[in-house]
Each structure stands twice: as C-alpha cells, then as structure tokens.
Amino acid sequence: MSSKATGSITVTMEGSNKSAKLPLLGGTLGPQVADIRKLYGELGIFTYDPGYGATASCESTITYIDGDEGVLLYRGYPIEQLAEQSSFLEVAYLLLNGELPNKAQYAEFDKGVTRHTMLHEQLRRFFEGFRRDAHPMAVMCGVVGAMAAFYHDNLDINDPEQRRIAAFRLIAKVPTIAAWAYKYSVGQPLVYPRNDLSYAENFLYMLNGVPAEPWVNNPILSRAMDRILILHADHEQNASTSTVRLAGSTGANPFACIAAGIAALWGPAHGGANEAVLKMLAEIGSPENIPQFISEVKDKNSHTKLMGFGHRVYKNFDPRAKIMKETCHEVLAELGIKDEPLLDMAMEMERIALSDDYFISRKLYPNVDFYSGIILKAMGIPTSMFTVLFAVARTVGWVSQWKELIEDPSQRIGRPRQIYTGAPARDFVAMDKRG
Ligand code: ACO
C-alpha cells in the first residue's frame, strides 16, 4: 500500500489548550485524507460519520470514482473503454491482478475459470431443500455460503495458492448457482455449464437453455450481458463490498465473506434497485401518471423514492448509466422491440426528473440500475433474477477486494465505535419491584 504523507492538519479542542496534529495522506487520485488514528489517544475523542460519507475505510488500488466528474476507473482504465473494448473475463483478470493480461496469461486465466464452472454434485441437492417460490437471492446467500462446506481445500486464507483457487471457484461457480436458482424456481431441469462458451454466453445458456431443444447464441444479447457484467464488476467501497471487507477482516473464509456481500447487495437501496425500478414503472402504469408519482416522491412524508435515481457518490452523472442507456437501445433494436412501454415511461420519467428542481438541487441523476432492468426484461430475464445477475458480476469485485484486504499487512479487524445515547449505568431492579 502506498499512500503518501502530504501534510498535516491540527485539531484544537475549543475551550481547552489540547490539540492534535494529524497527518494528511494522499493517494494517486482523489481528495487528501486526514489520518485520525491518533485522535482518540491524543484527545480522547471519536469521529462521527454515519453512512461513512467522509470516511476512507482502507487503501485500495482497484477502483477509482470521481463522483463530481462522473469518472469510474478499474485499475486506472476508464469504464467506457473497458465496456467497449474488453470482455468480462479480461476485466476480471484486471481487477484481480492489477494489470491487463497478455495472451498467455489470459488463456491460463480463462482455463482456470472455465474448469471450475461445475458444482460439487452434492451441492445440487441443496436446491431441492428450498421452496420453489424462494427468492433466488435467498438461494444465492445459502448456496454460496454453503460452498465453504464443500471446498475444504481452499479455506486457508493465508495460503496464496488457496486464495487463488477460491477466487477461481467463486467467479466460475456463481453463474451456475444463479442459473440453477432460477431453473429450480420455474421447475425446469438444471442445466450444466458448457466450457466451450464464453462466460456471458454460458450464463445465458444455463438460464435459457433446455434439454429439449438446442440453445442458439445471439451475439448481440451475449455481448450486452457481457457489458452488463463489466459495468457491475466493481464499485470501490460500496455497502456490499464494505460488508465483504468487514467479514474478511475477521479472518472468515472467502465463501462466507461473499455470502455476506450477497446479503448486503439484496437491499432495494443497493443491488435490489434494478428490480425495484421495474416494479415502480409497472405500478405507475402509464406516462400520464408520472407527474402524480413525481409529486409523491417530492412529498417529505411519503417515503417514496424514484428508484434508479440518486447515488451516494455520483453527483453529476453515473457513467455506467450512459453506457447502459445505449446498450438498452441496441438490445431493443436487435430484438425488434419498437415500442417498449416501460422504456418510453423510463425516458419520460428521466426527462421530467431532470428538469425538476427537486432532483436538480439534490444532484439526483439516473444510476446504472435505471436502465439495466429494462434491458434484462427485454432479454427475457425474470425480474427476480436482476439482483442475482448483479451479484454474479460483483463477485469479481468482492473477491478482488477481499484478496487485497488479506494481502494488506496493515489490515486489522474492522471495529467501528459509536456515540452511546442509551441509559446511563444503573442498578438491576428485581421484577417484583418494577412499576
Ligand atoms: N428519489 C427521491 N429523492 C431522493 C432519491 C430518490 N431516488 N435519492 C435521494 N433522494 C433525496 C433524499 O430524500 C434527500 O433529500 P433531503 O435532502 O430533502 O432529505 C437527498 O436526496 C439526499 O439523499 P440521501 O438519502 O442523503 O442520499 P444517500 O447518498 O444516502 O442515498 C441512495 C443514495 C441510497 C442510492 C439513494 O439515492 C436512493 O435510495 N436511491 C434509490 C435507490 C437506488 O436507485 N439505488 C441504487 C444505487 S446504485 C447501486 O447500488 C448500483
């Protein structure tokens, strides 16, 4: 890790002569960071930052976001270039290893991932233990966590080779688990992976293929799937990634950590948003109801949010949303969908929101999930699978961040503090003496 000292700031406590000089650190890009580690020791005070809006929890070399400028870089490479010119597996190599692979490195990585796509046959029986109507994210949490019960030979997190194998297994098997969660829910035979297909093709094959007839690859759709996976692969210290890191900081095995990440991703404020966008559009029903919906969103007492809008970090535009919007049009054109009422509504919603002072003043713009749901729906992916697909893509980022955490000698168990506002110390009162 290599942040550099760039200066210092002095914190003085008003009303006393106590002060602390705190080092300022700088990374390659982004704002300077005050290193507050000595603050408690020197002044006896904690810092307070609920939601961590101004807190760097770690050093990382993986992903950089400039929320004001709408910049997203994976290992320094702009997301637009990667989405246009790279492939998901190449991006996975980049995120995990720090550099783009040469031909030989790529071939070896590709082989490593494709050779791990099958699940232990006993894991197959897990699926039958779930109700058919279980949400596939619930199945994902369970089966990914259960991988630790099957792959004992790569649980030693201090062995780099075991970490490497665990990374391969997670990246390779997560699409199989995701597709099987879906197949199980619709009562179709579970489709075994095909290693002659690309990562995105194989995923679509396992989702849509049936033994009764040959599966035909549509290159436009598999390219769109590949792009969706690239766009969702990593996003620095978001809620699910921070969850993976926090779990990882305890020394928990990688399968447990990724299962924790999947759980955090499930929420509608995070990965569940793409599913929520479609639900919202369906509930609004038709464009003439949009103004009424927007006024409900603006009503402080309503708790209604415009799903797919807003982001903790992007306060200008989400660069992923731009690419997603283009991909959305490409996919609909390929599928010959000229009038997609949901897309028309989404575009009308975007137009109205972007000209409304409520959204402008709060810097609320469409995020990646505003359009991804519409593409996935057009591709025939059921709504309940949207967040699962996000989890498949983000597994690469989670694994890369987990690996970086384990390899960082300065890492300690994550253990935030609090402002305690509960009762002061008091004596226990026996039940018969309580009022
Ligand atoms: N619709 C309406 N108002 C919103 C929205 C929205 N989608 N997002 C934020 N606001 C408002 C808030 O009510 C708040 O208003 P106030 O200042 O009057 O109280 C203001 O904008 C600031 O919002 P915060 O909640 O402080 O923003 P925060 O950074 O905490 O939340 C979040 C970010 C969770 C993404 C939020 O914008 C949201 O819930 N969006 C909808 C869900 C969504 O699309 N999530 C996907 C995120 S991207 C991803 O995970 C891939």
- HEC-encoded secondary structure of 274-320: HHHHHHHHHHHCCHHHHHHHHHHHHCCCCCCCCCCECCCCCCCCCHH
Biggest alpha carbon–alpha carbon distance for the chain: 80
Answer yes or no: are the C-beta atoms of 75 and 98 closer than 8 Å.
yes
How high is the pLDDT of residue 346?
85
SS3 assignment, position 198: coil
SS3 assignment, position 20: strand
Nearest CA residue ID for atom 50, ligand 1: 270
Nearest CA residue ID for atom 22, ligand 1: 362
* Ligand 1 centroid from CA 56, angstroms: 20
Nearest CA residue ID for atom 35, ligand 1: 311
* Ligand 1 centroid from CA 311, angstroms: 6
Answer yes or no: are the C-beta atoms of 169 and 160 closer than 8 Å.
no
* Ligand 1 centroid from CA 160, angstroms: 39
Integer Cα distance of 346 and 365 in angstroms: 13
Instruction: Report whether residue 368 contacts ligand 1, using a CB cutoff of 6 Å.
Output: yes
Q: Which residues of 360-398 are buried (b: 16+ CB within 10 A; e: fewer)?
A: eeeebbbbbbbbbbbbbbbbebebbbbbbbbbbbbbbbb
The closest of 421, 321, 389, 426 to 181, measured between CA atoms, is 389
> pTM of whole model > 0.75?
yes
Q: Which two tokens stand for residue 333?
A: 């054109």
Instruction: Report whether residue 82 contacts ligand 1, using a CB cutoff of 6 Å.
Output: no
Q: Is the dihedral of CA 278, 322, 260, 57 positive or negative?
A: negative
Q: What is the CA radius of gyration of the chain?
A: 24
Decide if 344 is catalytic: no
- Walk across the sheet containing 33-34 and list its strands: 4-12, 19-26, 33-34
Answer yes or no: are the C-beta atoms of 199 and 226 closer than 8 Å.
yes
Answer yes or no: are the C-beta atoms of 225 and 204 closer than 8 Å.
yes
Nearest CA residue ID for atom 16, ligand 1: 362
Residue pointed to by tokens 């949400």: 135
Instruction: Report whether residue 394 contacts ligand 1, using a CB cutoff of 6 Å.
Output: no
Instruction: Report whether residue 273 contacts ligand 1, using a CB cutoff of 6 Å.
Output: yes
Q: Which ligand 1 atom sits closest to the C-alpha of 232?
A: 51
DSSP for residue 16: S
Instruction: Output the tens digit of pLDDT for each of the chain's 435 residues.
Output: 589 999 999 999 988 889 999 999 999 999 999 999 999 999 999 999 999 999 999 999 999 999 999 999 999 999 999 999 999 999 999 999 999 999 999 999 999 999 999 999 999 999 999 999 999 999 999 999 999 999 998 899 999 999 999 999 999 999 999 999 999 999 999 999 999 999 999 999 999 999 999 999 999 899 999 999 999 999 999 999 999 999 999 999 999 999 999 999 999 899 888 888 989 999 999 889 999 999 999 999 998 999 999 998 998 889 999 999 888 888 888 888 877 788 888 888 888 888 999 999 999 988 888 888 888 988 889 888 999 999 999 999 999 999 999 999 988 999 999 999 999 999 999 999 998
Decide if 235 is catalytic: no
The closest of 414, 302, 305, 415 to 353, measured between CA atoms, is 305
Instruction: Report whether residue 312 contacts ligand 1, using a CB cutoff of 6 Å.
Output: yes
How high is the pLDDT of residue 421?
98
How high is the pLDDT of residue 245?
98
Residue pointed to by tokens 């093709």: 201
Instruction: Report whether residue 308 contacts ligand 1, using a CB cutoff of 6 Å.
Output: yes
Per annotation, catalytic residue among 311, 356, 427, 432: 311
Per-residue HEC secondary structure of 87-134 comes to CHHHHHHHHHHCCCCCHHHHHHHHHHHHCCCCCCHHHHHHHHCCCCCC
Instruction: Report whether residue 393 contacts ligand 1, using a CB cutoff of 6 Å.
Output: no
For 392, residues 6+ apart whose C-beta sits below 8 A from its C-beta are 174, 175, 178, 203, 229
Pocket probe for ligand 1: among 309, 358, 368, 389, the residue whose CB has the most ligand atoms within 8 Å is: 309
The closest of 318, 319, 298 to 309, measured between CA atoms, is 318
**Count of CB atoms within 10 A of residue 74's CB?**
24
Integer Cα distance of 106 and 91 in angstroms: 10
Q: Which two tokens stand for residue 355?
A: 């000209």
How far are the Cα atoms of 78, 90, 366, 384 from residue 84, in angstroms, in the given order?
A: 10, 12, 21, 28
How high is the pLDDT of residue 328?
87
Nearest CA residue ID for atom 24, ligand 1: 312
How high is the pLDDT of residue 377?
86
* Ligand 1 centroid from CA 310, angstroms: 5
Dihedral through CA 219, CA 220, CA 224, CA 227, nearest 10?
60
Q: Which two tokens stand for residue 244?
A: 């993976």
Instruction: Report whether residue 364 contacts ligand 1, using a CB cutoff of 6 Å.
Output: yes
How high is the pLDDT of residue 1?
57
Instruction: Report whether residue 263 contacts ligand 1, using a CB cutoff of 6 Å.
Output: no
Per annotation, catalytic residue among 110, 226, 234, 369: 369
* Ligand 1 centroid from CA 314, angstroms: 11
How high is the pLDDT of residue 309?
92
Nearest CA residue ID for atom 30, ligand 1: 312
Integer Cα distance of 222 and 225 in angstroms: 5
DSSP for residue 409: T
